[in-house]
Amino acid sequence: MAKYIFTTGGVISSLGKGIASASIGKIMESRGLKITLVKLDPYINVDPGTMNPYQHGEVYVTEDGAETDLDLGHYERFTNAETSKFNNITTGQVYNAVIFKERRGDYLGKTIQVIPHITNEIKDRVRKAAQVSGADIVIVEIGGTVGDIESLPFLEAARQLRLDVGFKNVLYIHLTLIPYVRSADEIKTKPTQHSVGKLREIGIQPDILICRTEKALTDDIKEKISLFCNVPKDAVIEARDAQSIYQIPLVFKEQGLDRRILEHFNMKCKSTDLKDWNRLVVKRALHPSHEVVIALVGKYITLQDAYKSIYESLNHAGIYNDARVIVKKIDSEDIERQGSAKLLKGVSGVLVPGGFGYRGIEGKIEAIKFARENRLPYLGLCLGMQCAVIEFARNVCGLKGANSTEFARKTRYPVISLLEEQRHIKDMGGTMRLGVYPCRIRKDTLAFSVYKRALISERHRHRYEFNNKYKSVMEKNGMVFSGIYPKKGLVEIIELRSFCEIEHPFFIAVQYHPEFKSKPDRPHPLFREFIRAALEKARNL
Ligand code: GLN
């Protein structure tokens, strides 16, 4: 039977609960255990797929095509867990299911209540995630901050699960903040005392506290936290601000967090160290020999979370290439106002990420034109591919006003358009082309030299597709369609090598999202080669 670890957060949001949970997963894997991670999200949306990135940050897509919370990205990057639609449970899904069952008459005349019907549904879903994963340990991260109204049913379900499956099979870890007060030159434990008090009111006594702090926790402080929060002193784990998030598993392991968890579960597993992780990821991340500046031309650049997996993938590729990747975040509307030459000056590569809607599109197209003409390495992701197609159609193939029907319904040259099967869809939620699809790569292409394989599979999240009517005119002008989804003949990868007497070192764009499959110790080949090309460019600048 699986063991359950619930992670909660207190005092403030943005404490890094996702990274802490993923790091716990990593150190338990270092004990040879199979783990999985589940995120419980208190909002009433069924999934984040319909939310604005400013509300929610990136929407992470799993292999099976679920649109999920970005914390699942941390889980997959830190661990070997493969997440799916079972790994993200929202209040919306829970109520949807309960109301559906009520209408069907499943509850036999009962009054439907938060306890037990909603809490039972939550527990069933957590157990289901445990069962489908076959994990020894299931780490369940409860979204929100203790004290929020919204997360109460999740906390109540977590409390009940210990009664259901036994004290020794459930562990509660609370992540909290120990703020430093400059005027007093002291770190303060009171907010943590209150937050743990709040948890106890609900009936949860945390077994372990992870304390986010700027300063080291002295023995005195640990004793104080232990006494007031009712946890043993060696269960007070210090989580000092780190330079790289990938250090966190090492920090936890050094303090024996894995040992403590195993003791609680009465499990004996031999310990392996995280030497490879330290050598391949942490050391290289902290002390790179080179530096390279990449422009990310997007719409949601002020929010760090909006392109989370892309930033991480660039980071992984930098780690592999022994370089610090500095991302110059450029608002594509600024390119429309100020021009690309000014804003892209000095960068060694351009990346255009995914996105929706017309705003900022022309700036992206201009940035791509600049990258194409100036032989700057270019990587386009999803919308970044569609914009590269539009740019090439307009400026090289002479198809004036070419566009995607997403932005201009009646364009003369709809080089990007909807498939017939998408035309009649009315609902917005969960109806895009989602999840993993195979792609066949042509042998003599840049894509093949990047992947070194003819058959790949990558994750999708889009509605619009390249319009195959324009394939031959684009091909004649030098665009190479190097990756195709065989079953439907859909274009997955485009590239430019030689066109209009220009030899381009690295211009590639994909209809899918490679950023969801990159890991710190296994960078995605597209990002890895993009950064390699950018470093080459930087050397020759
Ligand atoms: N808006 C485009 C589409 O729906 C691209 C989506 C994306 O970049 N994820 O096809």
Supply the pLDDT for residue 10: 92
Q: Does 541 have pLDDT greater than 80?
A: no
Active-site residue (options: 397, 515, 524, 529): 515
Q: Does 420 have pLDDT greater than 80?
A: no
Class of domain 288-540: alpha beta
Atom of ligand 1 nearest to the CA of 465: 10
Active site includes 465? no
Q: Does 421 have pLDDT greater than 90?
A: no
Give per-residue pLDDT as tens, 120-171.
999 999 999 999 999 999 999 999 999 999 999 999 999 999 999 999 999 9
pLDDT category of residue 424 using cuts at 50, 70 and 90? confident
- Is residue 442 in contact with ligand 1, taking CB distance under 6 Å? no
**Average pLDDT in the chain:** 95
Tokens of 37: 């991670």
> Cα separation of 450 and 446, whole Å?
6
Q: In the 8-state DSSP scheme, what is residue 145?
A: -
- Angle, helices 525-540/308-320, rounded to nearest 10 degrees: 60
Ligand 1 binding pocket mutation candidate from 463, 467, 492, 516 (most atoms within 8 A of CB): 463
Q: Do 3-279 and 288-540 share a fold?
A: yes
Supply the pLDDT for residue 286: 93
Angle at 203 between CA 198 and CA 205, to 5 degrees: 75
Q: Name the region of 478 (left: φ>0; alpha: ψ -120 to 50; beta: rest).
A: left
Active-site residue (options: 56, 117, 174, 513): 513
Which residue is it, tokens 């109301």?
A: 99
Supply the pLDDT for residue 422: 79
Q: What is the arithmetic mean of pLDDT over 110-126?
A: 97
Q: What is the arithmetic mean of pLDDT over 9-27?
A: 94
Q: Name the residue at shortest CA distance from atom 6 of ligand 1.
A: 462
| Nearest 10 degrees: Cα torsion 138, 144, 145, 151 | -80
For residues 441-467, one letter each, b for 16 or more C-beta atoms within 10 angstroms of the residue's C-beta and e for the rest, the string is: bbeebbbbebbeeeebebbbbbebbbb
Q: What is the arithmetic mean of pLDDT over 356-378?
A: 96
Angle at 447 between CA 467 and CA 363, to 5 degrees: 55
Ligand 1 binding pocket mutation candidate from 383, 415, 422 (most atoms within 8 A of CB): 383
Q: Name the residue at shortest CA distance from atom 9 of ligand 1.
A: 354
E-strand stretches of 123-224: 137-142, 170-178, 180-181, 186-187, 208-213
- Is residue 448 in contact with ligand 1, taking CB distance under 6 Å? no
> Cα separation of 480 and 124, whole Å?
49
Q: 3-state DSSP call for residue 158? A: helix
Radius of gyration of the chain, Cα coordinates, nearest whole angstrom: 25
Supply the pLDDT for residue 97: 97
Give per-residue pLDDT as tens, 486-537.
999 999 999 999 888 889 999 999 999 999 999 999 999 999 999 999 999 9
Distance (Å) from CA 416 to ligand 1 centroid: 10
The residue extents of the domains of the chain are 3-279, 288-540
Q: Name the residue at shortest CA distance from atom 1 of ligand 1.
A: 356
Backbone dihedral angles phi then psi of residue 322, each to the nearest 5 degrees? 60, 40
Which residue is it, tokens 């991340």?
A: 285
Q: Does 87 have pLDDT greater than 80?
A: yes
pLDDT category of residue 240 using cuts at 50, 70 and 90? very high
Distance (Å) from CA 70 to ligand 1 centroid: 18
- Is residue 320 in contact with ligand 1, taking CB distance under 6 Å? no
- Is residue 297 in contact with ligand 1, taking CB distance under 6 Å? no
The amino acid sitting at 406 is E
Supply the pLDDT for residue 431: 85
Supply the pLDDT for residue 13: 86
For domain 3-279, the question of CATH label 3.40.50.300 is answered with yes
- Is residue 406 in contact with ligand 1, taking CB distance under 6 Å? yes
- Is residue 461 in contact with ligand 1, taking CB distance under 6 Å? yes
- Is residue 356 in contact with ligand 1, taking CB distance under 6 Å? yes
Distance (Å) from CA 311 to ligand 1 centroid: 19
Active-site residue (options: 382, 387, 397, 439): 382
pLDDT category of residue 423 using cuts at 50, 70 and 90? confident
Distance (Å) from CA 156 to ligand 1 centroid: 38
Q: Does 270 have pLDDT greater than 90?
A: no
Q: Does 284 have pLDDT greater than 80?
A: yes
Which residue is it, tokens 């434990």?
A: 189
Distance (Å) from CA 444 to ligand 1 centroid: 28
Active site includes 515? yes
Q: Cβ(46)–Cβ(99) under 8 Å?
A: no
> Cα separation of 335 and 358, whole Å?
15
For residues 336-346, one letter each, b for 16 or more C-beta atoms within 10 angstroms of the residue's C-beta and e for the rest, the string is: beeebeebbee
CA-based torsion, 436, 442, 446, 449: positive or negative: positive
Atom of ligand 1 nearest to the CA of 354: 8
Helices (H) and strands (E) in the chain, counts: 21, 25
Q: Cβ(389)–Cβ(475) under 8 Å?
A: no
Give per-residue pLDDT as tens, 299-338.
999 888 999 999 999 999 999 999 999 999 999 999 999 9
Active site includes 513? yes
Ligand 1 binding pocket mutation candidate from 51, 300, 307, 356 (most atoms within 8 A of CB): 356
pLDDT category of residue 82 using cuts at 50, 70 and 90? very high
Alpha-carbon distance values, 476 to 387, 393, 397, 498 (Å): 19, 11, 9, 11
DSSP track, 250-317: HHHHHTTHHHHHHHHHT--------HHHIIIIIHHHHS-SEEEEEEEEES-TT-TTTTHHHHHHHHHH
Strands 498-499 and 502-503: antiparallel
% of the chain surpassing 70 pLDDT: 100
Q: Does 405 have pLDDT greater than 90?
A: yes
Atom of ligand 1 nearest to the CA of 464: 10
> Cα separation of 506 and 533, whole Å?
7
> Cα separation of 377 and 389, whole Å?
16
Q: Which residues pair with 211 in a beta bridge?
A: 176, 238
